[in-house]
Amino acid sequence: MQLFLWGGLLYTMLMDNERLEWLPLSPPKAEETLPAGEPEATCPRCGWPLSGAAAGCSHCGRLPAGPLIPADAPAVELPARTTETPAPPETRSDSRPAVPDGPQWYNLRLQAEQLGASGGFSRLICLDDIFIDQYAYQLETALHVLRDMGGRALLADEVGLGKTIEAGIILKELIERGLIDNALIIVPAPLTRQWQAEMQHKFNETFTVLESLSQLPPPPVAGQPAVLPRGARWIVSLSRARSAQWATRLPAFEYDMLIIDEAHKLKNHRTRAYQFVNRLRKRYVLMLTATPVHNHLLELYNLVTILRPGHLGTRRAFKRTFVAARRTARRPSRRTVYSSQYVPGYLRQSKEKRTQAQKDGWPGLNVLQRFDDYQAFCDHYSGNRKPPAPAARREIESLLTAGYKLVEFESIECPVWPRRRKVDFVCRLKLNAGASTAPLAPRPRQLTPKNTFALRTLLREVMVRNRRSSVGVRLPAREAAVYHLNLSPPERRLYNGVTAYIRQTLALLRQDDAQRQRAGAMRLRLATLQRQLCSTPQAAARGLAALLQREPNPHLADYLTLARSIAEGRKVDAVRVILSQYPGKMLIFTDYLASMRTLDAALTAAGHKTVLFHGGLSSLERFEAVRAFRRSARVMISTRSGGEGHNLQFCRQLINFDLPWNPMRIEQRIGRIHRLGQKETVRIFNLSLTNTIEATILDVLARKIRMFELVIGEVDLILGDLGDERGFEAHIYDMWAGSQSEAEFLQNLTALETLLEQAQQTYTQIRATSDELSDLLGVWR
Amino acid sequence: MTQSANRLRTFAIDFFTHFGADVYPDELDVLVALPPSLADTFGKPRLYLTFADEEAGADRELSPQQDLLSYGSRIFDRMMALLAGRGQQAQFSLPARRPLSLLPLLNPAAPPAAQNTIESQFETNDVPFFVFHFRASYVWTEKEEALLTVVVDAAGQLRPEKAEFLRNGSLPVADDAPGPLDSDALHRMFHCAQTEARRQVEARADALETDIRARLQTIAGRLTGFYRQLVAELEDDAGAADVRRELERDLQRKMADELERHQLRITLLPVSYAVARLPMAYYRWQLTAQSGQSAQLFLQRDLFSGQIEHFRCETCGRELDAIVAAADAPPDGLCRAACPLRQKSVGWAFWRLVGLPVKSADAPVSAGIRAARYQWRQMIMPGRTLFVGARPGLPVVRRFWPRVLIIEYPHKRIVWRQQWGRWRQISPKS
């Protein structure tokens, strides 16, 4: 009795440690106001800013009072149009007259032809063949891109506004009009399947994810053009596409439509990825990114140049015209020797003087005085009033202070052409950066544009950026809580025992070469079992039973018996508590049918009206389920397929009964209720069993990534910056499977957390950059 | 419901009725009970058709039972598949919808003029017109489609005025047993119609190419300028020549791509043709002047649409812009001005057709005038000029759009204006 009481008291004490913790969330940003622009003098032809001193436009060459086209610009001859006019067989004089149809057929045919004639992009014709919530700003964006941008645009909407939907609408519209036959979508690797599913479910287009070169048509015979199979729809990851083998095969084809997701990965024109995409031949191209600029306006330049080469001029002209001048030293690299050449006025040298200076070893400059010693250089210029020298000396001194060692030094004094009243100097030096332990200064960001009005005019021709403030989209606040739960003693015994078995099995799989062939599938089963343990004993029992069928094991059989003996898991009780404390409808997500049934039985017994939603329902049954949830049921228990394509904004509370390891799946769940059309504050409850892997992952997501604060789509951007294409879930999985123990797993997780923190900070900075840049440029539609 | 949705709804009702389905239209939607043959095609025995309504916007949610019908939807595609190869040719007669006599056209409030006599006699006949429909598709970076209708009469003349109503897909055709078609005649008519369709297509293509050319020129200028600047910015070093060549190749490649993208491709496909028999009425007018001179005038009128054929020059067949009343022959230049052939003067003897007096039926008339309370409405197109003779004493009558009439005598000018359905002389004041 005493023992029982003692045991009962201990149980109560354990339960007392449980708590519902509301996560601190940052307050919503104040609404931004968009600045008005001040018109500057711009070229009426190309929109480039006109400088008063120049005789004409430095971009297109248009003369102020002259013809629109410069005299030497080549006139373009349109290729001769082709007209096909086949004759119907009945009207050939050699054919026998056919018996005509009745006039009713004729009338019907005529009506159908009249209805089917499309008169340009005055309206979208694909809308009824796609399964999306239609928002006016998305439809207007699609029409704007088709009508005014010729199907080539940079879609830079803020996160969560549906760039994928906009791209899908444009794609579908062009397909339905017969303007495109094939399409290639290039995305980050973790998003290939997601894009495939979205294209299938929302746009009824079947895409193939390219994973092997054998999926491509064979290379053509020499001299013959490569031909895509009719109706080819491909999705390929960027990392695969830019690899050596693929980068030679894919550009051989001409694509009707090219869509690039996360296009900011092409911000650097020197990368293989950029050069690969730039080489692709495409008729229509859409580039999607919520953050087109990270550090430098040239990143935006690079993206626009893929769409319309020359639209923003050359790189040099763009910098000169649109980037506010800023003298910055090149950031030294830790691994390479730093070499600097400081040459103001160099470009003003005449050709003769350049030739002379070349003979002296200084290309393009006329040497007046030479210094081989840094000290002599400093002594010569000390007290000198010539402007360049103090700045250069300061630059060199700062590098020396930072720990760089001067290896070589050479400097010359040269005149500024055409008069020698002023002199400039060139400083050539080599510094050894290897000894420096000072942290590298962050690369200076060059984001301040000038001639903003002209830049805005040019960008508006190729870029669309919808912002929540401009499209009138307001998402309500979101509250997130973690319900920390303790497993009951039998559940704890079950969890610990099975987890130990899983770890042992994984260790064996790692060691035994003979097992390696079936290791992949086995690891997956074990991972699933580990997740089932964190759900309900009934789900764990099902997993154990399946495993026992393949791997008979007496210990596992004992655990199976234990699992079946537990009537109800701790989480089920927690759900009852939440339902009693928080009135209103509740959407509960679980990954396992067994858990779903257990929950359903428990909640029904508690008097709640429930409705189930899972992949086994027909479309009509799903519709009825959603309708029942809207009208009468209090709780909807759903598996992964829950709510896809259905509006659930009438519900504002959600319980993550099981936590997926992939945060984007969590985001998709939240997105069922926290979306456009939701009017009330959304509550998200996460059940966390202490001292389990689920609690660890939830902690990472909630505290490190702070995913519950983010808007839909931002998680993807943060995790995409990890620098690893495998994805977060794969990271966690490998880390867990490769750890010998829980302690080792936690240790490995610390390194990931550091990466995640950096990714989070980087993303925050990038988002702020994009926001302030779009405010400044006012590039919205 | 929007206009396009209404047209779709009408089409859906006609379509399923024709295929033997039971159709139950309600205010917005249409319930269709399909016969077994169609149930297989559409995958279910009933369709609950609803139509895209732009006013409902994004809030509209369809239940799985509802079937959205619009251009591009799967149901529409299946309907088109059922019509494939059908309805490409037909023969039908159109009923007479206008009264035979022209007299009801005439308005009792007629402007005054010299006293004339008008008398009509008529006969009717069913006249075949060959109606050809073509689908023209214009594809460049965009796509535009249009349905062209060309009507040719039995003499091989184009009749564009008939195309307007013969392109209607809801004509009240009479049930006719189709007769044999002369394939040679059909062949000739088709070529005539195709030539006209090509002409219309080329005219539209010219307009499109003007825009395309301007756009392409801008793109070419941009690309050329861009690559020129890139080459100019190259530094003089060892690899510059290779880079320059690569840039030039790049420019050529991009220009070739842009030219290919902007090339206009036109497809002119015959869709269907029909032989439509229109009830035509022929009128002969006997005009008698105060002086006793008389003239004959022939008119024809389509009793389905009510169109009245304008006078045509016997020499060139074109519609006349001027009608000359002359005792023997028209003065120089009047008919010739209308007839480009200028080969022979046409011996018309017309009389003026407007300017008849406003008189009550029992009012006394001058000698030679029959009871007349007419005004021509449809016979005289506003803006056209009807000359009444260059002979001295005969007035010239001009009608301006649509309610001003000027009658010019050698010694005076009278201006009439129609107000509230009655003609009033406004100059000189009566």
Going by the DSSP 8-state scheme, the letter that residue B308 receives in this structure is B
pLDDT band of residue A727 (cuts 50, 70, 90) is low
Q: Is the pLDDT of residue A753 over 50?
A: yes
pLDDT recorded at residue B203: 94
Of the given ranges (A284-298, A376-390, B24-38, B184-198), which has the lowest mean pLDDT?
A376-390
pLDDT recorded at residue A551: 78
Residue B182's closest chain A neighbor by CA?
A: A97
Looking at the complex, report in whole angstroms how far the Cα of residue B20 sits from the nearest Cα belonging to chain A: 13
Render the burial of B282-292: b for 16+ CB within 10 Å, e for the rest: ebebebbbeee
B311-320's contacts with Cβ under 8 Å and 24+ in sequence apart are: B313/B338, B313/B339, B313/B346, B314/B346, B315/B339, B315/B341, B315/B343, B315/B344, B315/B346, B316/B340, B316/B341, B317/B157
Point out the residues of chain B with pLDDT beneath 70: 1, 52-64, 100-122, 173-181, 237, 283-299, 309-412, 418-423, 429-430
Choose between A523 and A439: higher pLDDT. Answer: A523
Q: Is the pLDDT of residue A436 over 50?
A: no
Q: Nearest by CB to B198, which of A85, A102, A313? A: A85
Cα A506 to Cα A522: distance, rounded to the nearest angstrom: 9
B72 contacts A126? CB cut-off 8 A: yes
Q: Is the pLDDT of residue A590 over 90?
A: yes
pLDDT recorded at residue A597: 94
Q: Is the pLDDT of residue A568 over 60?
A: yes
Q: Chain B 25-84, CB below 8 Å of chain A: which residues?
A: 52, 57-58, 61, 63-65, 68-74, 76, 79-80, 83
Pairing of strands B22-25, A586-589: unpaired
Residue A279's closest chain B neighbor by CA?
A: B250
Of the given ranges (A180-184, A372-376, A490-494, A623-627), which has the lowest mean pLDDT?
A372-376
The torsion defined by the Cα of A48, A52, A58 and A61, in degrees rounded to 10, comes to 100
Choose between A162 and A513: higher pLDDT. Answer: A162
CA–CA distances in Å: residue A485 to residues A575, A581, A655, B398 = 11, 16, 14, 99
Torsion over CA: A494, A497, A501, A502 (sign): positive
Cα A586 to Cα A652: distance, rounded to the nearest angstrom: 7
Selected for mutation to probe chain A from B76, B183, B218, B266 (highest A CB count within 10 Å) is: B183
pLDDT recorded at residue A34: 41
Q: Nearest by CB to B221, which of A60, A81, A97? A: A60
Q: Chain A 73-112, CB below 8 Å of chain B: which residues?
A: 73-76, 78-88, 90-93, 95-112
CA–CA distances in Å: residue A294 to residues A269, A289, A310, A447, A765 = 14, 11, 22, 9, 8
Looking at the complex, report in whole angstroms how far the Cα of residue A449 sits from the nearest Cα belonging to chain B: 21
Q: Is the pLDDT of residue A474 over 60?
A: yes
Residues whose CB falls within 8 Å of the CB of residue A148, separated by 6 or more in sequence, listed in order = none
Record the tokens describing residue A164, joined without a space: 């994928």
Q: Is the pLDDT of residue A25 over 70?
A: no
pLDDT recorded at residue A408: 66
Residues whose CB falls within 8 Å of the CB of residue B33, separated by 6 or more in sequence, listed in order = B21, B22, B23, B24, B45, B46
Residues whose CB falls within 8 Å of the CB of residue A2, separated by 6 or more in sequence, listed in order = none
> Looking at the complex, does the CB of residue B274 fall below 8 Å from at least one CB of chain A?
yes
pLDDT band of residue A514 (cuts 50, 70, 90) is low
Q: Is the pLDDT of residue A407 over 70?
A: no
Helix residue ranges, H only, A369-487: 374-381, 388-401, 452-460, 468-471
Cα A656 to Cα A534: distance, rounded to the nearest angstrom: 12
Residue A621's closest chain B neighbor by CA?
A: B64
Q: Which residues of A touch B261 (CB under 8 A)?
A: 283
Pairing of strands B116-139, B66-69: unpaired
Record the tokens describing residue B165, joined without a space: 């109503």
Selected for mutation to probe chain B from A58, A68, A76 (highest B CB count within 10 Å) is: A76
Helix residue ranges, H only, A204-265: 238-241, 244-249
Record the tokens describing residue A302, joined without a space: 């690079």
Q: Is the pLDDT of residue A657 over 90?
A: yes
Q: What is the pTM of this model?
A: 0.65
pLDDT recorded at residue A285: 95
pLDDT recorded at residue A580: 92
Cα A492 to Cα A497: distance, rounded to the nearest angstrom: 8
Average pLDDT over residues A747-771: 73
* Cβ count within 10 A of residue A327: 9
Q: Is the pLDDT of residue A504 over 70?
A: yes
Q: Which residues of B touch A116 (CB under 8 A)?
A: 71, 80, 145
Q: Of A312-321, A353-362, B412-421, which one has max mean pLDDT?
A: A312-321
Torsion over CA: A97, A99, A102, A106 (sign): negative
pLDDT band of residue A699 (cuts 50, 70, 90) is confident
Pairing of strands B265-289, A682-689: unpaired
Residues whose CB falls within 8 Å of the CB of residue A620, separated by 6 or more in sequence, listed in order = B64, B65
Contact B133, B372 (CB under 8 A): no
State the Rg of chain B over Cα: 31
Choose between B152 and A758: higher pLDDT. Answer: B152
A107 contacts B173? CB cut-off 8 A: yes
Looking at the complex, report in whole angstroms how far the Cα of residue B300 sits from the nearest Cα belonging to chain A: 26
Choose between A139 and A407: higher pLDDT. Answer: A139
pLDDT recorded at residue B339: 44
Q: Is the pLDDT of residue A10 over 70?
A: no
Contact A266, A277 (CB under 8 A): yes
Choose between A459 and B286: higher pLDDT. Answer: A459
Q: Is the pLDDT of residue A759 over 90?
A: no
Per-residue pLDDT reduced to its tens digit, A199-227? 998 898 999 999 999 999 888 777 777 88
A78 contacts B213? CB cut-off 8 A: yes
Helix residue ranges, H only, A614-662: 619-631
pLDDT recorded at residue A284: 94
pLDDT band of residue A66 (cuts 50, 70, 90) is very low
A86 contacts B181? CB cut-off 8 A: no
Contact A364, A356 (CB under 8 A): no
Looking at the complex, report in whole angstroms how far the Cα of residue B11 sits from the nearest Cα belonging to chain A: 7
B79 contacts A620? CB cut-off 8 A: no
Q: Decide: helix, strand or coil at residue B299.
A: strand
Mean pLDDT of chain A: 76
CA–CA distances in Å: residue A254 to residues A309, A357, A531, B256, B262 = 18, 49, 45, 13, 15
Torsion over CA: B133, B139, B145, B151 (sign): negative
**Identity of the residue numbered A34:** L
Cα A273 to Cα A253: distance, rounded to the nearest angstrom: 17
| Chain position carrying tokens 């519609």 | B319
Q: How many contacts, defined by CB atoms under 8 Å, are there between A and B?
A: 261
> Looking at the complex, does the CB of residue B350 fall below 8 Å from at least one CB of chain A?
no
A109 contacts B223? CB cut-off 8 A: no
pLDDT recorded at residue A56: 58
Q: Is the pLDDT of residue A46 over 80?
A: no
- DSSP, residue by residue, B45-105: SEEEEEE--TTTGGG----TTEEEE-TTSHHHHHHHHHHTT-SSEEEEE----S-S-SGGG
A98 contacts B178? CB cut-off 8 A: no
Record the tokens describing residue A670, joined without a space: 């939240």
Q: Chain B 212-271, CB below 8 Å of chain A: which residues?
A: 212-213, 216-218, 220-227, 229-230, 233, 253-254, 257, 259-271
Record the tokens describing residue B70, joined without a space: 């619009």
Record the tokens describing residue B382, joined without a space: 């506003």
